[in-house]
Amino acid sequence: MQERAASTRQAVLEGAAASFEKFGYGTASLSTIIAHAGVSKGAMYFHFSSKEELAQAVIDAQLTMAATATAVIVDHTPKALDALILVTKELGRQLQTESISRGGMRLTLESAIADGPHAGAFEEWIVKIGDLIERAQAEGDIVDGVDPTALGRYIVSSFTGVHTVSEMVTGRADLQQRLTEMWQILLPAVVPRRRLPRLLALAEDPVIDWSDR
């Protein structure tokens, strides 16, 4: 019974994510969410009492998915800058293949105004990436003099912009190529020349699915 309830809740979440991605928070309705989820109205209300609660649950699930993958990649990757490159590629993969990721991202971007309820998610990512950059500096993969927080903010901004343009132009079909381009442009500016070939090769590598690790 518990397994069935969990399966129904996940179906509702994914249906809500698909609806929010397609219509945005303002236009998505409970009827469109139910249609995308393929469940009854009673099943939806058993787990969620409102559209607002559903939207928050989708955002939370997307952040958890991203944070879990990040932790796995960092744990499996000895070098901090390698891990950072792989994290951006994995987040791109999630946006290409996971409805929760796409719906959560749209909701976050729609509401991420100054002092908004989800603006803090960007600040958290800037801090996490800044920590990786600080480690990369200690490992000799980032040149001295680079401000880890400033570079972290730039990478978050670049990723968000690259994703948004890819979504608008190709429906994210070219997102991995555009992320590779992002790193090809950025790395020569902050990486010692002797470390550059290995890191550029990593940015071009095929994407690894970290979801089952």
% helix, strand, coil for the chain, step of 5:
80, 0, 20
Instruction: Give the tokens for residue 100.
Output: 């929760």
User: What per-residue confidence (pLDDT) applies to 114?
Assistant: 44
Asked if 172 contacts 96 with a C-beta cutoff of 8 angstroms, the reply is yes
User: What per-residue confidence (pLDDT) applies to 120?
Assistant: 76
With tokens 């979504």, the residue in question is 167
DSSP code at position 1: -
Q: Write out the chain's pLDDT in tens, 213 residues.
A: 577 778 888 888 898 899 999 988 888 888 888 888 888 888 888 888 888 899 989 999 999 999 999 999 999 999 999 999 999 999 999 999 999 999 999 998 887 544 556 667 888 899 999 999 999 999 999 999 999 999 999 999 999 999 999 999 999 999 999 999 999 999 999 999 999 999 999 999 888 887 766
Instruction: Give the tokens for residue 96.
Output: 């290409």
**Quick check: helix, strand or coil at residue 136?**
helix
User: What per-residue confidence (pLDDT) applies to 168?
Assistant: 93
6 by Cβ neighbours in 10 Å (0-12 / 13-18 / 19+) ranks as exposed
With tokens 């880890």, the residue in question is 148
Instruction: Give the tokens for residue 155.
Output: 């990478």
| Long-range CB contact pairs, 67-75, < 8 A, 24+ | 69/94, 69/210, 69/211, 70/128, 72/210, 72/213, 73/210, 74/132
User: What per-residue confidence (pLDDT) applies to 157?
Assistant: 94
Cα–Cα distance, 22 to 169 (Å, whole number) = 16
Cα–Cα distance, 167 to 29 (Å, whole number) = 23
CB-based contacts of 93, cutoff 8 Å, min separation 6: 176, 207, 209
Rg (C-alpha) for the chain, rounded Å, is 19
User: What per-residue confidence (pLDDT) applies to 115?
Assistant: 52
Cα–Cα distance, 73 to 52 (Å, whole number) = 32
User: What per-residue confidence (pLDDT) applies to 133?
Assistant: 97
